[in-house]
A and B are shown apart, each in its own frame.
Chain A
Amino acid sequence: MFGKAFSDFVGLLKANAVVLWLALSFCAASAYAADAIPTPTAMPWWVLPLGLFITSFLLGIVAVPSGVGGGVLFVPIVGGFFPFHLDFVRGAGLLVALASALAAGPSLLRGGLADLRLALPMAVLASASAIGGAMVGLAIPANIVQIALGGTILGIVTLMAMAKKSEFPEVSAPDRLSAALSMNGIFHDAARGQNINWQVHRTGKGLVLFLCIGFLAGLFGMGAGWANVPVLNLLMGAPLKVSAGTSSFILTLVDSSAAWIYLNKGAVMAIVTVPSVIGMMLGATIGARLLHVLKASVVRKMVISLLLFAGIRALLKGLGIWI
């Protein structure tokens, strides 16, 4: 009895030690970046890209167990603590989110966790509005974008802290639009060992919200999983796993349309983008494997704290209070 309690305690300690280590490493890297970086030519060119790779790798590890996309962590944190201009950070953020979504998309589609019929109508609207968001984001002054980003991140923190999830929402009948589009399906829930039939409702409201979500994704260069999942799950009534999978798949279209705008405008810098993409993808692979070791609720709380800090930092940076 005592031995089991002790081993449980050691296991918990180990799990939290990993989280603590990640947090400390990240905070140390952030502090270093914030204090020591902006002087040009004071260090070899490769130091910051390497720091960016390590940061993205750590963010990738925590992104999976915390249930948020890498893009939403990447833009405020790298934009707040690295000396790269926010335009390049947003361009990289979009490609980080896109690459992660592309890597996950095929297996999600094959496993039935992403549904093409549910995704396509939403993705068409969201990818169109993402173009508008990207154009607006590149047309207005960076400090305005920074302030708006800070406000949005703080909103996301509130949403993450308060939003509930429903594994299998009750949808008594589909609405006319979803019935006409056959937005329904079956997925195999391995945890329960059974096939789950699902359908959705409130499709019209969902489409309107996806217009807004796409705009924000393009404007800030973030993936929009933080918003997609609540809309699909809580509003439209898709099962949680289908919502998460379909959300990721929608990002493959939304982020690519916005990324084209950034690329054409010249707001993609290889030295910022590629280490971030590779770091995030490697980190996410490790994060997925550590899912059983890391305590998800602890990681989630840590990510919320990190986002809160990054949101305040973005707000103050935009207002010129904390440059």
Chain B
Amino acid sequence: MEKKDSHISVEQQLYAKLLQWGSRFGLVILVASFLGYVFGLIPAHVPLDELQKVWGLPLQEYLTRTNTPTGWSWLQLAGKGDISNFVGIAILCASSLVCLVAVIPVYAKRGDWVFVTLCILAILVQVLAASGILNVGH
């Protein structure tokens, strides 16, 4: 493994940098959208006063009662206060994906094909999870 004086490899430093930016960005978006939601600046899909009636319901019943979409259909309601929080959550979930893509050229340049393959596998797992095609329910 290529080490710099600090003993930290180039790809690890790159990964750390991108992860920091991605997670910070996601958190800022998440907090901003949540404040907009709870202070009523953005109208909610499920009104705040109604939440107590539905937050104890089993998932399927909650989705039916509140007409909340599954999969990526939430994007159509991203302008609603509660659903807008999913943007920040999705950015947090996707921040590792960007890092994995970014380090592939570093490994490839060094001819470290095992780790290129591992990164691709990790990306495929994340994309499969994010795709929404694995839809199951109670």
Bitwise interface map of A from 174 to 189 toward B, beta carbon under 8 Å scored 1, else 0: 0000001110111110
| B135 with A40: CB separation less than 8 A | no
B108 at the interface (CB under 8 A from A): no
* Residue of B whose beta carbon sits closest to that of A261: B129
* Interfacial residues of chain B within 53-102, with CB under 8 A of chain A in the complex: 53, 55-59, 62-63, 68-72, 74, 82-83, 85-86, 89-90, 92-96
Contacts of A259 in B (CB 8 A): 89, 92-93
From B125, B126, B132, give the contact of A264 (CB < 8 A).
Answer: B132
User: Given contacts A124-B122, A186-B3, are A263 and B90 in contact (CB under 8 A)?
Assistant: yes
Binds B, one of A23-31, A137-145, A155-163: A137-145
Which of A87, A106, A120, A128 meets B59, CB within 8 Å?
Answer: A87
User: B122, A253: Cβ atoms under 8 Å?
Assistant: yes
In contact, A109 and B138 (Cβ under 8 angstroms): no
Residue-wise, chain A 236-270 has the 8 Å CB interface mask toward B (1 for contact) of: 00000000000000001100111111011111111
- Chain A residues lying within 8 Å of B7, measured Cβ to Cβ, are 112, 185-188, 195
Does A204 count as interface, using CB distance less than 8 angstroms?
A: no
Q: Would you call A171 an interface residue if the criterion is a C-beta within 8 Å of the partner chain's C-beta atoms?
A: no
Contact of A271 among B51, B93, B122, B135 (CB under 8 A): B51
Tell me the smallest distance from the CB of A95 to a CB of chain B, in Å: 6
The listed residue (A105, A117, A121) touching B1 by CB distance below 8 A is: A117
Q: Which residue of chain A has its CB nearest to the CB of B122? A: A124
Size bracket of the A interface: 35 or more
Residues of A within 8 A of B134 (CB): 131, 135, 261, 264
Q: Which residues of B contact A261 (CB under 8 A)?
A: 129, 134
CB of B89 within 8 A of CB of A268, answer yes
User: B137: which A residues are within 8 A, CB to CB?
Assistant: 138-139, 265
Note all chain A residues with C-beta closer than 8 A to B125.
Answer: 124, 127-128, 131, 257
Within 8 A of A (CB), among B1-30: 1, 3, 6-9, 11-13, 15-17, 19-20, 22-23, 26-27, 30
Cα–Cα, bound, A84→B58 (Å): 9
Contact across chains for B1 and A256 when beta carbons are under 8 A apart: no
Whether B8 lies near A182 (C-beta < 8 A) is no
Q: What residues of B have a CB within 8 angstroms of the CB of A182 in the complex?
A: 1
Which residues of A from 43 to 91 have beta carbons under 8 Å from B? 43, 45-46, 48-49, 83-85, 87-88
Tell me whether B41 is interfacial, beta carbon within 8 Å. no
Q: Tell which of B1, B16, B27 touches A185, judged by Cβ atoms closer than 8 Å.
A: B1
- The distance in angstroms between the C-alpha atoms of A123 and B121, with both chains bound, is 10
**For the complex, what is the distance from the CA of A121 to the CA of B37, rounded to whole Å?**
40
Q: How far apart are the CA atoms of A266 and B20 in the complex, in Å? A: 27
When chains A and B are docked, how far (Å) is the Cα of A269 from the Cα of B48? Answer: 12
The smallest beta-carbon distance between B81 and chain A, in angstroms, is 8
Determine whether A278 belongs to the interface, using a CB cutoff of 8 Å to chain B: yes
Within 8 A of A (CB), among B118-137: 118-119, 121-122, 125-126, 128-130, 132, 134-137
Which 4 pairs across A and B sit closest by C-beta, in order of nearness?
A: A102-B23, A270-B85, A109-B16, A106-B20
Can you pick out 9 interface pairs between chain A and chain B where the beta carbons lie within 8 Å of each other? A40-B52, A83-B55, A102-B19, A120-B115, A124-B125, A127-B122, A140-B138, A259-B93, A260-B126
B residues apposed to A, CB below 8 Å = 1, 3, 6-9, 11-13, 15-17, 19-20, 22-23, 26-27, 30-31, 34, 37-38, 48-49, 51-53, 55-59, 62-63, 68-72, 74, 82-83, 85-86, 89-90, 92-96, 103, 114-115, 118-119, 121-122, 125-126, 128-130, 132, 134-138
Q: A117-B1, A139-B138, A268-B86 are in contact. List 6 more A-B contacts (CB 8 A).
A: A41-B52, A95-B89, A102-B23, A109-B15, A138-B59, A138-B137
